[in-house]
Structure 1
């Protein structure tokens, strides 16, 4: 699991550790990790040309000390001093190692091998000062960048971006991940993220991302004496005469073997039975999936599902009819649907997905899964889904996701776990089915059992 902590949590942990270490030891650890990561990024150090963008804070010091290590290994290192003050110990170390200070200048592609962004660290304000942006934004578009802790200018604790900010090909962070590394739009600016362990003693993180082992541990497993009803029955109220395909896709997501039985109620029953003969009709369920392709029938489907007082997934057309608190629900909007729920513009949601997903979770008293490149699941805790690829942006993929989450609810997972495990599996299935090329929603549904099998082989004891 990747845990993402706030700036306040990191600063407190660093202060505790520094009190036990010799002065400067923590920065030396960070600098050593940064220098090693830059060397790996370049595929070697000797003869490489490195520019350090040095701000006033400790990450400027990290960059200078790392630059000194690179210079000792044969790199040509120059530092551009862009802050109001400079970390003097780091600057002295760079000069002793043969590095130099240079004035900022235009750099075209190939002029240097890498630029190390140490301008604004985790304690800085979002955005770049105009005088700094004028110098660094043009070269950010032409030369590979490695960011120290976070790309300069992003909002570390929210994952938002404000004003001008830099984009990194690689971000080297220290001690723990920060929220900006997981949450878009800031996460898009981070590129690949490499964590350097500093030995910090940290409290529980407010944001986390499940890993493969976490998902394997949470997945429902049939007991030796299992029977279909005990494994959970999921009901699907989806589709309409206009959109029967949505019913098929929601049922396909539910009918992946993770629950013991799938029931379908709706106007697409004949079509569903033709494609999924094992799916049965109305009856008792442990969870409902409501909304995909529901059209004018969605309001009635939602009311009938709520009357059963079981956990439910609310998606697509049914989201328009959520007006009160729904404590047992998982809402699965995309940005436009969440904007409608909250009465804001879509662009506002896209600019601050974590904030808006959390606002909706509080307003409706439930788990909210905001779909996106980095899906945000907000409820008792916040989880970010990092699986998937751009080919997953295809019609009907959300219908499959809602059915999959419903099956996990029926199998006994909590709304938070069902949403986060379902989203992880959905993204992993897309990657498996894609193989680097285009996919359809049906491909994603068909790949889910193979993903679960792979997890079982690697993580479940025989």
Structure 2
């Protein structure tokens, strides 16, 4: 598991450690780790052209000290000074090691400036413009330097986080650096794992600077394969279909039969012991055509609630079900069950119209909205606000509704009251296709039925869903149906850990 902490938490931890260390020791630790990563990225250090983009904060000092270490190993280091204040100790160290400095470009002649020429010719660019104290988009001259770094052929290494990214949320509100590698210090920052910031961070490496004992629990967790493998249910000699989980599914309709087929397929490929499907006759026929192993029954039009399955381990409800009165009655009955429930799509729209449906429920509940659906659950909130601050809004919804929230998107995040948030690291634009969310709901529902908690099921399901998309990708587009064969492969790949 990777752990992340907020800026305030990191500063308190650093302050506690710095009080016991000689002046500048913590910065030199960070610089040594940064220099080591930079050296690994160069074919050879001696003679390499390294350009430092140096702002006025501490990460500018980190960059200068790291540049001094590289210069002592023979690199030709140039520092572009972009701040009115520059870390004087770091600057003296760089110059003492043979590094040179030049001013940041100003005015309209950015492209013809000496700084632009150095960046264009560099073998490596180090972004030390703005650190974890920065907020909002970059302004001149930082924005111009970020653009020059983005246009250069050299790889870019960000110091602590790419300049222009909000460290706590990942929001990007203007020009920002796009890094190939981010070297962060002490602990990860949440914005490195949540889009749009995550898309600009590249590969993230965390350098231990000794603040670990000073840190409290994390605000964000990012699972790795071993974490998923440790949670996945494994069949044993004592297993039968009931012990492996019975999942009831009230998804799809005559109009949206595909939603039923996709969600049921996701559950079966995840390895659930039994799916008990209830739907309209047309949807039942379609499900059985694709998945004959399903126990399916058509709802009685005169008593649809009375014909819902009983004796189940968990429920998945909502996708493609509609918004008509029968769907409302069905959702009320499912939410009245003591079993864990995953609510998606149309069920979320109905809950948005009557929040008491969910707020009055005490049994475990997981909702799986995309940003637009979550906006309907949080009145006064726009989709764009949610996309820009995914962690905050997922946590708000979890608190307001007393449930687990899996917020789908380029970075899927999971929030549950009383626990750190989770950011899924396997997200892929390949999943931006109709029906992929239905497959996910089936996968997560299967894990709920097997006995995982909503938070565990959401974490494992999202991770495997993203990994399956990557495994299914053969250079062409990936459809939701393509995920079926890839899900068992994803499970097998994770199980190797």
TM-score, normalized by length of structure 1? 0.94
Q: 1:405 aligns with which of 444, 447, 450?
A: 444
Instruction: Give the corresponding residue for 1:142.
Output: 151
Cα distance per residue 1:377-435 (max 9 Å; x no partner): 11132101011432222221100000111111111111111111110111111111224
TM-aligned CA deviation for residue 98 of structure 1: 0.7
Structure 1 runs of 4+ aligned residues shifted over 6 Å read none
CA–CA separation in structure 2 for the residues paired with 1:111 and 1:276:
59
> Is 1:218 aligned to residue 231 of structure 2?
yes
* Contact residue 388 and residue 431 of structure 1 kept, 8 A: no
CA–CA separation in structure 2 for the residues paired with 1:132 and 1:305:
58
CA RMSD of aligned residues (A): 1.9
TM-aligned CA deviation for residue 356 of structure 1: 1.4
Cα distance per residue 1:184-225 (max 9 Å; x no partner): 222222122121122322221010111111111111223431
Specify whether residues 146 and 279 from structure 1 end up closer, same or farther in structure 2 by C-alpha distance, changes over 3 A only: same
Q: 2:286 aligns with which of 271, 284, 309?
A: 271
Matches within 5 A, 1:24-423: 24-105=24-105, 106=111, 107=116, 110-128=120-138, 130-143=139-152, 144-200=155-211, 201=213, 202-267=215-280, 268-281=283-296, 282-296=309-323, 298-322=327-351, 323-324=355-356, 325=359, 326-327=361-362, 328-343=364-379, 344-380=381-417, 381=419, 382-423=421-462
TM-score, normalized by length of structure 2? 0.87
TM-aligned CA deviation for residue 134 of structure 1: 4.9
CA–CA separation in structure 1 for the residues paired with 2:483 and 2:242:
26
Determine helix, strand or coil for the equivalent of 1:131.
Answer: coil
Instruction: Give the corresponding residue for 1:454.
Output: 493
Report which stretch shifted further, 320-329 or 56-65: 320-329
Determine helix, strand or coil for the equivalent of 1:265.
Answer: strand
Specify whether residues 134 and 283 from structure 1 end up closer, same or farther in structure 2 by C-alpha distance, changes over 3 A only: closer
CA–CA separation in structure 2 for the residues paired with 1:231 and 1:21:
54
Specify whether residues 454 and 161 from structure 1 end up closer, same or farther in structure 2 by C-alpha distance, changes over 3 A only: closer
CA–CA separation in structure 2 for the residues paired with 1:78 and 1:258:
57
Question: What are the ranges of 5 or more consecutive residues in structure 1 without an aligned counterpart?
Answer: none
CA–CA separation in structure 1 for the residues paired with 2:424 and 2:43:
30
TM-aligned CA deviation for residue 436 of structure 1: 4.6
* Contact residue 3 and residue 176 of structure 1 kept, 8 A: yes
CA–CA separation in structure 2 for the residues paired with 1:255 and 1:154:
40
* Contact residue 263 and residue 280 of structure 1 kept, 8 A: yes
* Contact residue 147 and residue 177 of structure 2 kept, 8 A: no
* Contact residue 240 and residue 293 of structure 1 kept, 8 A: yes
Cα distance per residue 1:363-390 (max 9 Å; x no partner): 2111111111110111132101011432
Specify whether residues 301 and 249 from structure 1 end up closer, same or farther in structure 2 by C-alpha distance, changes over 3 A only: farther
Specify whether residues 167 and 455 from structure 1 end up closer, same or farther in structure 2 by C-alpha distance, changes over 3 A only: closer
* Contact residue 258 and residue 411 of structure 1 kept, 8 A: no
TM-aligned CA deviation for residue 17 of structure 1: 3.0
Determine helix, strand or coil for the equivalent of 2:60.
Answer: helix
Report how many residues are paired.
457
TM-aligned CA deviation for residue 86 of structure 1: 1.8
Report which stretch shifted further, 348-357 or 237-246: 348-357
TM-aligned CA deviation for residue 113 of structure 1: 2.6
Report which stretch shifted further, 134-143 or 302-311: 134-143
